[in-house]
Amino acid sequence: MRSRFEPDRQLTARMLVTMFLLGLLYVAFVAALIVLLKSVVLVVLIAAGLLGAQYWYSDRIALYAMHGRLVTREEAPQLHGVIDRLCAAADMPKPRVAISRMDLPNAFATGRNADHAVVCVTTGLQRRLEPAELEGVLAHELSHVAHRDVAVITIASFLGVIAGLIVRFAFYSQLFGGRNRDQNTAAALALVMGVSALVYAISFLLIRALSRYRELAADRAGAMLTARPSALASALTKVTGDIARIPTQDLRTAQAFNAFFFTPALGPGTTVANLFSTHPSLERRLEALAEISAELGETA
């Protein structure tokens, strides 16, 4: 798919490198599981099944988790209208449109390719933003679809998901079934748990490094499309401030999808080091948008 969104060769290169490294890690991970569990068929079937589910149903899973549903033009005429205009300006296929009935002010794009993409906004975001600010956020999300990084981050996150599941399974298996196993079985489970934990840690760091850059790339692409980086900066500032006032329980529900969000669902006291964050800091994003504003000669 070609669009008028400005190509980002650095993003493309980073996606290729991340997928290559995760691919190597995935092959080594599967090989280690086969050696430890001594069952080629079982490991391959489970890995292939989970990867297929992650790839084919990622949009449905994300919408279900975020209480979102697809909406027609009649149900959300203003939202469809903005996306129609942006897609026409970007010369790209229109994704499906969804609304999440959550007060958490956020938006995300998901889907395995442009033909199966979904852009979802929460009612909390719609209620808080001015039309120009909402347009900036939607341009940001559409750029994720155009640059194909939504599909890449979906596939990339799979390895971390399966490694995390295996760590939990091995842990509870040891915890509740340890008395009925011999030492060799217990040692094998411990090795599986250790390998899985290592794979999870490496994939965690690789995905977050890619995620931080793709957010800056989407900010730039969205701002260039609308030619109003100040509107996107205003939306970022407003949303980040409001998220701090969202109840912790609601934030925990959304945090599993942080890598897909416009801004991370982090409340007070949950600030993490830049190395572990899915998004650049607000200050870094605002600084980049200010540079774009100067580049475009934008006036208030």
- For the annotated catalytic residues, the residue numbers are 141
Q: Is 67 annotated as a binding residue?
A: no
Q: 251-254: list long-range contacts, CB under 8 Å, 24+ apart.
A: 251/104, 253/65, 254/66, 254/102, 254/104, 254/106
Structure tokens given for 150: 């939504």
Q: Are 79 and 121 in contact (CB under 8 A)?
A: yes
- CA separation for the pair 137, 88 (Å, rounded): 16
Q: Which of 77, 68, 222, 15 is nearest to 138 (CA)?
A: 222
Structure tokens given for 66: 């975020």
Q: Which of 141, 144, 99 is nearest to 124 (CA)?
A: 99
DSSP 266: -
Q: Are 212 and 279 in contact (CB under 8 A)?
A: yes
Q: Are 260 and 150 in contact (CB under 8 A)?
A: yes
Q: Is 147 annotated as a binding residue?
A: no
Q: Are 233 and 211 in contact (CB under 8 A)?
A: no
Q: Is 144 annotated as a binding residue?
A: yes
**In a 3-state reduction of DSSP, which class is residue 244?**
coil
- CA separation for the pair 45, 33 (Å, rounded): 12
End-to-end CA distance of the chain: 34
The number of beta carbons lying within 10 Å of the beta carbon of residue 76 is 18
Considering only CA atoms, give the Rg of the chain.
Answer: 21
- CA separation for the pair 37, 40 (Å, rounded): 8
Structure tokens given for 112: 């395995």
Extract the annotated binding site.
140, 144, 215
Extract the annotated binding site for Zn(2+).
140, 144, 215
